[in-house]
Structure 1
Amino acid sequence: MIQALPGAPCSRNKTGFFTDRDMCKNGGSHMPTGPERERRAGRIPKIFTPRRGSASQAETASSRALSRTSIALIAVSLILIALVAILTTISLLRGTRTPAIIANTSAAVNVPAELAPPLLKAWEYQAGGAVVSSVAVAEGLVYVGSEDHLLYALDARSGDEKWTFKTGKRIARAPVVAGRSAYVSSSDGYLYALDSAEGRQLWRFSAAADMNLSSPVSAQRMLFVSAWDATGRNGDSRVIALKPDDGKPVWDTEVSGRVVGTPTIGVGQVYVGSENGAIYALDLLDGTAQWRFKTDGPVSASPLAYDDVLYAGSWNGTFYCVETASGKKRWEFSAGSAIYAKPALSEGVLIVGANNGKVFALNPHDGTKLWGFDTGEAITVSPVISGAYAYIATSEGRIVVLDVATGEQRWVCNTYSPLYAAPVASQGYLYVGASDGMVYALGRHSDGSPKKFPADDPAVLSATRLEPPLSVKWQFQAGDLIEASPLLAGDTIYTGSDDGKLYALDARSGRAKWEFNTGRPISASPVRSKATIFVGSKDESVYALDAANGARKWKFKTGGRIFTSPVVSEGILYCGSADGKLYAVDAESGKRIWSYKTGAPIFSSPVTYRKTVFVGSNDGHMYAFDTSAWQKKWSFKTGDHIYCDPLVYRETLYFGSNDGKLYALDADTGAKKWEFETGLAIYATPAAYDGVLYIGSGDRNLYALDAVTGRLVWRFETGAPIHAKALITGKTVYVCSNDSNLYALDIKSGTKKWQRVMGADGSLAARDDMLFVGLSNGQLIALGE
């Protein structure tokens, strides 16, 4: 789900291996340009000599005298060159810089000015795994890579799926489209070339190393990629130039350290940053080393090339401006925190985001600060500039829009899922991929007004639409009680009931679309992955259903009743059962892959994070399993049963136990960071937003806690235990209590803003301008303004 709130994109090569001793002998941090001249002068070691994939060019000389016509043409050319030089000089003296015509400078180019906020949702699409890389847009298609190993091609206007292509492992870097081909790298070690219209494989290239740390980039009739060999000499990287037609190498150069960011293409040069603390310049045509600039910390973000300079940030918080001709530093700026993202440049303003949540606008000529803005949330992806506005994506799922000139906030929307990929602007739309697998298209009409969409596909609306008071829009009666939160996906809301049925309803009208009968009660929320709905039933089975019509695709039988929701990650479905086992099932076929038996029934839904799946058991333990090796990583024992679904937030695992405590553990190691004790058992799943955890307890209270320290921020007491997860939208926290009331609380203070008697205890879901409440009396009620 995406929610608007009110508010005032790789390459490597196997020849020159860079080390500290390879710096210029004159003590500088760069090498002179002109590789052939420098080799003849003996200044470039043999170690920099590239291995080329084609024969070197033969030198040619002409002994014929030039004709008078040729001399005249040369004279005219010289005059034109001089004229251009004069005009360029005048432009520079006036303080305006003419952009160099180079590839890979999307961050330095204005996108259409009509992309001014507020933006509304045109469509959304659910991928089968997390989307952690930017999309590519070309010829009416949006190309999306996902951690489910698939590359998706979607219609840019409607979001309809056109084709998918499956790689061997996850896709974590953006694809690139050049001509009629789409290129994408995968963690399986291959770079794939596909027919961009049909998704048919044209060729694939293997560097025998990890090629999924950076995206490919196309320029000068070559494709530039990078590969990191963790098992090779010192764990170094390679920048490789390939022929785009057949994937054959043109050159291959080694670079010291791990290169993570996409290679940047400049005039005659390729630039990469390395985590060994340096920026390297290679010759575009043959991969020979040009210079190296030493930074004070690792560089993982792609540099930005513009005119005669290069901009790049490092982990030590220093942002550098380096001359592309010499590799000499022109200026630097301290951001006070690590810089993991490529900057953006437009109209004389350089926008830089830092890991401490701060955004800086700098003068690109001297690095002086023009303004600063604190988002309060880590920034790890590149800004997008559209006319007068800068779009900033945060690690907490928000897109903050700032005025480029003043730094004032103009608009903000929330996807409620961490954003690890920079948004992409194209043809009047902003495309956003989120870590929950959702892909959104936001846009406006060409006249600047918000786009209007069909009534059954409402756009992203401001959070004021979900500000109380809310009234009933429609209600639906199931055949028995509804125990879990409904699932909202696109224009459909899905809810299970103790009558054994899963219902699919039109989210706008409440009209039934289809229903599927499992024969036994459904007490947990369904989940959706791509075009499939997965739901567990107390008939001891998990079902895979067609999301469009409810037709059964497969059924997987466990050894006990299922009380919890499954989770799908990278094409694998995980579910717990009352037989005490956690199962891993192929999401396409329904075939069992693996299982692990805990010491008691499982009533806690699993959750995945990176290559780990977590689940709580009634034996009082929280378990962590490595999904790449199918082994237990660690377990943590609490004082009682665990019914609460865990939450991973900012690399920390949060969950409650029947011992009344909320635990915060290091997600990687299982080490306890802190615990907070409430008065009674905790059944509700924690919710997190903006550094604060919200958790309901059997002691009737909703607690707001500092996510880092566990310190109490505020608490609100209801009339009965709280067993449902709180829902956060804008400035309001909604929570259902077993006292049959729905409460709306101020997110900052916890004071009550509104209350509505629902007639039964319930659980919540939301879409943009509507709040959905599933009740234990069997009703599903839609509330809105």
Structure 2
Amino acid sequence: MFSFSLSSPVPLRRERKTRYALSACLLMLCWFGLTHDAKAEVAQSKENLMTPLWQVATEGQIWSSPAVEKGRIYVGSDDGDFYAIDQASQTVLWRFATQGKVRAAPALDAKHVYFSSDDGYLYALNKESGQEVWRFHLNDGDVPRIGPANHAPWVFDYEKSSPVLANGRLFIGSADQHFYAIDSQNGKQIWRIQTNGMVRATPSLGDKVVYISSWGGRVYQIDQTSGQINWQFDTGSPIVSRVVAVGDKLIVGARNGVLFALNAQGTEQWRFTMPEGSWVESSAVVDSDQRHFYLGTSDAKILYKFDSQTGKTIWQTTLHGWIWGTPLLYQGQVYIGASGAKEYWTPVTQGFFKVNTKTGHTTKLYTPASSPTHYVHGGVFATPAVQNNQLIVADLDGKVYGFALSQ
């Protein structure tokens, strides 16, 4: 058995917001009006609303980022099913039922698709037929999720660790406070290590090592072969974003509102504190120059372009919703969704955008639908994908959309 607490330390700023919302709003307006750097601000965003070419509906919200390959789209849904969709015909080729929400992004190899579910299992399915090949018990099916809400506790446990494949091994975190290496062919455990909190973030691969982060606030570098922990770094706050290598820096954000840059030995190189102590839920995406990266924020509702060497911002643009997901970088544009929420202390509105990587010029591509039954009522969390000159977007409205990239 294991024990842990979902009452991990979170910024007390959220408690204060309930009582001082009006004062905070006025203070924020003054701050932006008096101290903003005009050179760092980008132009006002404009709308260029896109109409989807097609759409395929599931029966639940979609938090899972889709994987695309050879005209197929693989994605999970909160309805508990995992889907294989044919892009050309916009039909569901097969769907596989689990006993929990499927929020993990899938990993693919030549024959299989791998994903985890809130029922506590990591699954391997045949990509062609959708038949189960094996399943591995991650021991976290009974961990209660405390989803986003406009009241305490401010836990916001919505993320799921996704499997990452390398050299015949699957690396994945669990809410049982362990991190696993699994043989991709037979589903057998190779090794596991104990962490200091739930692992909801997706791991990242380095040269013979793997990086993970935990709700206990630590970043780990682990040897892929042995499972030995090489080093740990303590951010002091829960982490749900993944560790991303940008040049010679490792970038990771935490819920204390701080973005950290580490070197390969796990030593802090610089830190950036977000406005208003905004959580850093988003994971970085690396620019083609391998120096700059793009990353979103929660309460601040800002998408940034950073210089990884200095920690300085190149530009910033406000998207008016929670930017929790990982952006997609494609042909000089950043594609990113923002989520909306009801009855929060500031307005939080959903949207889907493209942002020019050079200038930060922002275009709203469409406004996702709202749901009357969910606190996070609309938007896009999942990272989009590109296939056959179409932008594939999985929306919280439960639909997968195909948009023409030429629009």
Same fold (TM over 0.5): yes
Tell me the distance in 1 between the aligned counterparts of 2:131 and 2:234: 42
Report the equivalent of 1:460: 362
Verify the 8 A CA contact 1:121 1:440 in the aligned structure 2.
no
1:367 and 2:266 are equivalent in the alignment: yes
1:251 and 2:151 are equivalent in the alignment: no
Report the equivalent of 1:395: 298
Larger relative contact order (CA 8 Å, sep ≥ 6): 2
Tell me the distance in 1 between the aligned counterparts of 2:90 and 2:192: 39
Closer, same or farther in 2 for the Cα pair 1:176/1:329, shift >3 Å?
same
Report the equivalent of 1:343: 243
Tell me the distance in 2 between the aligned counterparts of 1:255 and 1:433: 30
Q: CA offsets, 1:476-518, max 9 Å, x none?
A: xxxxxxxxxxxxx879xxxxxxxxxxxxxxxxxxxxxxxxxxx
Among candidates 150, 154, 170, match of residue 61 of structure 2: 170
Identity level (%): 29
Tell me the distance in 2 between the aligned counterparts of 1:362 and 1:122: 36
Verify the 8 A CA contact 1:177 1:196 in the aligned structure 2.
no
Q: Secondary structure at the match of 1:161?
A: coil
Verify the 8 A CA contact 2:333 2:355 in the aligned structure 1.
yes
Q: CA offsets, 1:26-63, max 9 Å, x none?
A: xxxxxxxxxxxxxxxxxxxxxxxxxxxxxxxxxxxxxx
Closer, same or farther in 2 for the Cα pair 1:295/1:124, shift >3 Å?
farther
CA deviation after TM superposition for structure 1 residue 160, in Å:
3.4
Tell me the distance in 2 between the aligned counterparts of 1:211 and 1:401: 33
CA deviation after TM superposition for structure 1 residue 281, in Å:
0.6
Verify the 8 A CA contact 1:163 1:198 in the aligned structure 2.
no
Report the equivalent of 2:322: 418
Q: CA offsets, 1:143-192, max 9 Å, x none?
A: xxxxxxxxxxxxxxxx4311111111111221111111001111111111
Verify the 8 A CA contact 1:119 1:443 in the aligned structure 2.
no
Closer, same or farther in 2 for the Cα pair 1:490/1:196, shift >3 Å?
closer
CA deviation after TM superposition for structure 1 residue 420, in Å:
2.2
CA deviation after TM superposition for structure 1 residue 215, in Å:
1.8
Closer, same or farther in 2 for the Cα pair 1:440/1:213, shift >3 Å?
same
Verify the 8 A CA contact 1:176 1:182 in the aligned structure 2.
yes
Verify the 8 A CA contact 1:121 1:442 in the aligned structure 2.
no
Tell me the distance in 2 between the aligned counterparts of 1:401 and 1:412: 6
1:319 and 2:248 are equivalent in the alignment: no
Tell me the distance in 1 between the aligned counterparts of 2:68 and 2:185: 21
Tell me the distance in 2 between the aligned counterparts of 1:124 and 1:343: 33
Tell me the distance in 2 between the aligned counterparts of 1:371 and 1:270: 31
Report the equivalent of 2:280: 379
Closer, same or farther in 2 for the Cα pair 1:124/1:389, shift >3 Å?
farther
Amino acid at match of 2:82: L
Tell me the distance in 1 between the aligned counterparts of 2:117 and 2:233: 30
CA deviation after TM superposition for structure 1 residue 225, in Å:
1.3
1:430 and 2:338 are equivalent in the alignment: no
Runs of 4+ in 1 over 3 A off after TM superposition: 117-125
Verify the 8 A CA contact 1:311 1:319 in the aligned structure 2.
yes
Tell me the distance in 2 between the aligned counterparts of 1:283 and 1:187: 27
Report the equivalent of 1:239: 122
Verify the 8 A CA contact 2:247 2:308 in the aligned structure 1.
no
1:530-569 equivalences in 2 (<5 Å): 568-569=370-371
Among candidates 333, 349, 353, match of residue 440 of structure 1: 353
Amino acid at match of 1:221: K
TM-score (norm 2): 0.70
Report the equivalent of 2:118: 228
CA deviation after TM superposition for structure 1 residue 197, in Å:
3.1
CA deviation after TM superposition for structure 1 residue 331, in Å:
0.4
CA deviation after TM superposition for structure 1 residue 346, in Å:
2.5
Verify the 8 A CA contact 1:431 1:442 in the aligned structure 2.
yes
Among candidates 609, 613, 627, match of residue 375 of structure 2: 609
Unaligned runs of 5+ in 2: 3-40, 142-158, 341-349, 378-407
Report the equivalent of 1:261: 161
Unaligned runs of 5+ in 1: 1-18, 21-116, 126-158, 230-236, 452-458, 462-488, 492-527, 531-567, 573-607, 612-785
Report the equivalent of 1:483: none
Report the equivalent of 1:215: 105
Q: Secondary structure at the match of 1:345?
A: strand
1:696-707 equivalences in 2 (<5 Å): none
Closer, same or farther in 2 for the Cα pair 1:268/1:411, shift >3 Å?
same
Tell me the distance in 1 between the aligned counterparts of 2:333 and 2:86: 24
Amino acid at match of 1:438: G
CA deviation after TM superposition for structure 1 residue 228, in Å:
2.3
Tell me the distance in 2 between the aligned counterparts of 1:406 and 1:314: 26
Q: Secondary structure at the match of 1:228?
A: coil
Tell me the distance in 2 between the aligned counterparts of 1:266 and 1:124: 40
Tell me the distance in 1 between the aligned counterparts of 2:365 and 2:306: 28
1:644-723 equivalences in 2 (<5 Å): none
CA deviation after TM superposition for structure 1 residue 610, in Å:
4.3
Q: Secondary structure at the match of 1:421?
A: coil
The size of the alignment, in residue pairs, is 309
- RMSD, aligned CA: 2.7
CA deviation after TM superposition for structure 1 residue 338, in Å:
0.9
Tell me the distance in 2 between the aligned counterparts of 1:257 and 1:312: 17
